Amino acid sequence: MAAAAEQRAGFVKNVSGEAFIERNKVITAAKVKGELMENDVLVTGRSGSMGVILQDNSVMSIGSNTRIAISKFVFEPADEKLSFTAQIKKGTVVYLTGLIAKLNHSGVKFDTPTAVCGVRGTHFAIKVEDPFH
């Protein structure tokens, strides 16, 4: 029943170099058109980058050496359930908001090890330094 609650969060739009999706601790190479689910982790290596489109038509892309989890993604406008939380462990992320931020002003949040970004709109970049480099 927990599995049934998992939501499609979006899909991979473009991939370059070492780019992976980690789902339930299993890591697979990220593929163009590949589905993204709530709780997936987007991971890139030294040369990787990746662009994704989420269900609310928001757009996110990441540079190399990045690790970001889609820790919460709920997009049910009819029931006014609208929320997206990402957790960035390290790396660079660029995000352009979509319908969730538009319809729910406190609906989009990016957590990092040292801060929380509450997003009202619309286009921004976050860098989290990798503590090991």
Partner 1 sequence: MRYKPLLRIQKITLPLVLLVLLMSGCASTTQVVILPDPDGKVGALEVSNVKGTQTLNQAWQATESASVDRAPSAPKILEEKQVRQVFREALEAAPIPPVSFIIYFKKDSSALSPESLALLTKVIDAVQARKSTDIIISGYTDAVGPVDYDRRLSLQRAKAVADILVAKGVDRQNIQVTYHGKSNPLVPTRDGVPEPRNRRVEITVR
The footprint of partner 1 (CB under 8 A) covers 11, 13-14, 16, 32-33, 49-53, 57, 59, 61-64, 66, 88, 90, 92-94, 96-98, 112-132
In this complex, which beta carbon is closest to partner 1, that of residue 24 or of residue 103?
103
Whether the CB-CB separation of 84 and 53 falls below 8 Å is answered with no
Whether the CB-CB separation of 47 and 67 falls below 8 Å is answered with no
Task: Using alpha carbons only, give the angle 44, 53, 6 rounded to the nearest 5 degrees.
Answer: 85
Closest distance between partner 1 and the C-beta of residue 24, in Å?
23
Closest distance between partner 1 and the C-beta of residue 1, in Å?
27
In this complex, which beta carbon is closest to partner 1, that of residue 3 or of residue 91?
91
In this complex, which beta carbon is closest to partner 1, that of residue 3 or of residue 86?
86
Q: How far apart are CA 49 and CA 22, in angstroms?
A: 15
Closest distance between partner 1 and the C-beta of residue 2, in Å?
27
Whether the CB-CB separation of 48 and 55 falls below 8 Å is answered with no
Task: Using alpha carbons only, give the angle 21, 27, 30 rounded to the nearest 5 degrees.
Answer: 35
In this complex, which beta carbon is closest to partner 1, that of residue 19 or of residue 74?
19
Closest distance between partner 1 and the C-beta of residue 31, in Å?
12
In this complex, which beta carbon is closest to partner 1, that of residue 72 or of residue 109?
109
Closest distance between partner 1 and the C-beta of residue 97, in Å?
7
Half-sphere exposure of 52 (CA within 13 A, CB side): 31
Instruction: Give the bridge partners for 14, in sequence order.
Output: 51
